[in-house]
């Protein structure tokens, strides 16, 4: 596929370009987990109308001052941001940041 050696600077650049093009074609499936957590934090801060510290994955969403209505607002914003849809029945039992991030990540993988 490439005329240059993979170990040469040109070969690495071609391989990186091919990867980036492939990543772009796959859309949101390549979203890093850290990016999802940072997006959650940003949106949660907007919903709570206060700056939320970067949560750990085991942080209960309720400990961040987010109630069930706030949770729906966060999910709606994440759906719009990542161009996904999360059925309401899949939100039942979501209590931690990790559980929500897992759900968003699963849905973005289905978009690809």
State the architecture of 31-111 in CATH terms: Orthogonal Bundle (1.10)
Would you give per-residue pLDDT tens digits along the chain (112 residues)?
434 444 544 544 444 434 333 333 334 446 899 999 999 999 999 999 999 999 999 999 999 999 999 999 999 999 999 999 999 999 999 999 999 999 999 998 877 6
Is residue 79 within 8 A of residue 36, CB to CB? The reply is no
Q: How many CB atoms lie within 10 A of CB 32?
A: 9
Q: How many CB atoms lie within 10 A of CB 45?
A: 14
Q: Hey, where are the domains in the chain?
A: 1-27, 31-111
Site of tokens 């939320």: 52
Which structure tokens are listed for 7? 């170990």
What is d(CA 73, CA 86) in angstroms, rounded to the nearest whole number?
12
């Amino acid at each position: 596929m490439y005329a240059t050696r993979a170990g040469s600077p040109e070969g690495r650049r071609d391989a990186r370009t091919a990867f980036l093009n492939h990543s772009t074609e796959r859309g949101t499936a390549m979203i890093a987990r850290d990016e999802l957590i940072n997006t959650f934090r940003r949106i949660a801060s907007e919903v709570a109308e206060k700056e939320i510290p970067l949560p750990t994955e085991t942080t209960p969403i309720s400990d961040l001052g987010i109630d069930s209505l706030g949770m729906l607002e966060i999910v709606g914003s994440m759906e719009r941001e990542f161009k996904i849809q999360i059925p309401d029945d899949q939100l039942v039992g979501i209590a931690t940041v990790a559980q929500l991030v897992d759900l968003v990540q699963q849905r973005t993988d289905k978009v690809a």
